[in-house]
Structure 1
Amino acid sequence: MEQVWNTTVSTVLDWCGGDERLLFTVLFLLGSAGTFYLVNLVFAVFYYFDLFPNKRIPRPLGIKPESPQTIRKALIHVNAVILSSPIGMYFLYDLYKWRGMDMTAPLPGFWKTLGYLAVSLVVEDTLFYWGHRILHHPSIYKHIHKQHHQFHACVGIAALYAHPIEEVVANFIPTYSGCLISGCPLSVMVLWSFLRLWETVDAHSGYAFDWSPWNLFLTIQGGAERHDFHHFQNKGSYGSFTKFWDWVCGTDEPYYQWRREKKPAIVAALNKAKAL
């Protein structure tokens, strides 16, 4: 792993003419865009060939896939977000450098890397929950967060389909503030980007695989079904990586009530429809 990182840094630094600011920007783009497109490509294959139908999250029969027009609009928006984000990172280089970020160092030891990731997870989980919950306030929702909720039946690209204000307040700042606070090396930031984007695409995918690392510890994480419920019911379950703040504030109760009272009937109706 260290050799791969060193080779990558050396190659990219040569491409950038030795400019460390460009190195920071390019590696951020490769880590974030590469993850987003790769994971979405895998799920796109699943959608297109209708693979693993038994792993699709059960939704009420009235929740239909989004129209091709909505998908195209989301793709254009998401590509613009992905390709423009390095511009912001180019100018944020000085801030991360001031916090002590080493741009060329490989991943530190296991426990130190785990510590850096833990800081990012706690910061992201907290800022995302409260930013997301505020965006659901009736006086704000229709102006900003409603765009993201155009997807009632989620697919992976919906993860980054959001109003520009939401992109900054509820996505970018929660995701990358932990790296700034901890002063972690760029290698950890790239690893964190990979994990965070993988998790959010998985949560919006419409699939719930038992082997997915984001569905292994449901008492802590909640899994993809929980966020899918948030989209087709548009209430509760505001957290991302963990259920901690939803548990503290009781905002997961609508989801648990749905699982107890409505999910069995939905599953039965879906099975009946498939049998016809």
Structure 2
Amino acid sequence: MDLVLNAADYYFFTPYIYPASWSEDDIFRQTISLLIITNLGAYVLYFFFATLSYYFVYDHSLMKHPQFLKNQVYREITFTVQSLPWMSIPTVSLFLLELRGYSKLYDDIGEFPSWFHLIVSVLSFLFFTDMLIYWIHRGLHHRLVYKRIHKPHHLWKIPSPFASHAFHPVDGFLQSLPYHIYPFIFPLHKVVYLSLYILVNIWTISIHDGDFRFSELLDNSGFTET
């Protein structure tokens, strides 16, 4: 995240926003800047790619499904817009730790033994995060937390791409946590990490652009929905 912050400082914050006397290394200034960048980036990614998916990928006939709610797209967007700033607060605390040098992110490709190791790091990132998200998601379905934290996301039984980030803030942060803790455990190039972070958000949108229910398979297997 320091790559993004450095660019924002150079082109925007330092010349136009903050007084010249306020050091770019000041932790309070960095926190404010990261909050702005994280929220702005999240909204841009969400609206840009969800809108593309909605108009060019999404099957609009799904909106005629009886379980598609009245004004659902508007409600998905509203839910997301209200939740993202709350998700950003704990996220920024982790970005701040990265910025202060506590992670294993690195700048120079020469710091890694070979391109092979770089590729392996990408694969391990995908494996590590997907595995943890599976268990986190499974835990969120526990009866003690499901109703308050995870159930709001399942309100959208026939989701549109705009449901992709429509989480309770705690739910949204917990399911993004593996992506943030990976570079504190394993080395990863900063550009690769930033690219993967963007791709993960696009992927999240892509898995909410269709009807992925499997009730028909269950019915054909002799089971019934509960």
Normalised TM-score (structure 2): 0.68
Which residue matches 1:146?
151
- Tell me what 2:127 maps to: 122
Residue equivalent to 1:67 = 71
Write out aligned runs for 1:84-123 (5 A): 84=89, 87-93=92-98, 97-102=101-106, 104-105=107-108, 110-123=115-128
Is 1:179 the counterpart of 2:175? The answer is no
Name the CA distance, whole Å, in 2 between partners of 1:9 and 1:106.
20
Q: How does 1:190-205 map to 2 (within 5 A)?
A: 190-205=194-209
Q: Quick check: 2:83–2:166 contact (8 Å CA) kept in 1?
A: yes
Return the match for 1:14 from 10, 14, 22.
10
| From 46, 49, 68, the counterpart of 1:36 | 46
Which residues of structure 1 form unaligned runs of 5+?
1-6, 207-224, 230-253, 263-276
**AA partner of residue 203 (structure 1):** I
**Alpha-carbon shift at residue 127 of structure 1 (Å):** 1.1
Rounded Cα–Cα distance in structure 2 between residues aligned with 1:136 and 1:58: 26
Following superposition, which runs of at least 4 residues in structure 1 exceed 6 angstroms of deviation? Answer: 7-10, 56-60, 106-109
User: What CA distance in whole angstroms lies between the structure 1 residues aligned with 2:220 and 2:187?
Assistant: 44
Compared CA separation, residues 204 and 144, structure 1 to 2 (3 A): same
Describe the superposition over 1:101-135 as per-residue Cα deviations: whole angstroms up to 9, x where unpaired. Answer: 23x54797753432222122111111111111111
Percentage identity across paired residues of the two chains: 15
Q: Which residue of 2 aligns with 1:213?
A: none
Indicate yes or no: 2:173 matched with 1:168.
yes
- Whole-angstrom CA distance in 1 between matches of 2:156 and 2:130: 22
User: Cα offset for 1:28?
Assistant: 7.2
Aligned to 2:217: 257
- Name the amino acid aligned to 2:192: V
Distance across 2 between alignment mates of 1:125 and 1:43: 23
Question: CA 1:11/1:173 → structure 2, altered by over 3 Å: closer, same or farther?
Answer: closer
CA distance in 2, matches of 1:132, 1:186: 27
| Contact in 2 for aligned 1:28/1:190 (Cα 8 Å) | no
Tell me the matched-pair count: 203
CA distance in 2, matches of 1:8, 1:137: 37
| 8 A contact 2:76–2:166 mirrored in 1 | no
Matches within 5 A, 1:213-224: none
Given that 1:32 and 1:193 are in contact with CA atoms closer than 8 Å, whether structure 2 keeps it comes out as no
AA aligned to 2:154 is H
Of structures 1 and 2, the one scoring higher in RCO (CA 8 A, sep 6+) is 2
The RMSD of aligned alpha carbons is: 4.0
Q: Secondary structure at the match of 2:157?
A: coil
Cα deviation for residue 34 of structure 1 reads 4.2
TM normalised by structure 1 equals: 0.57
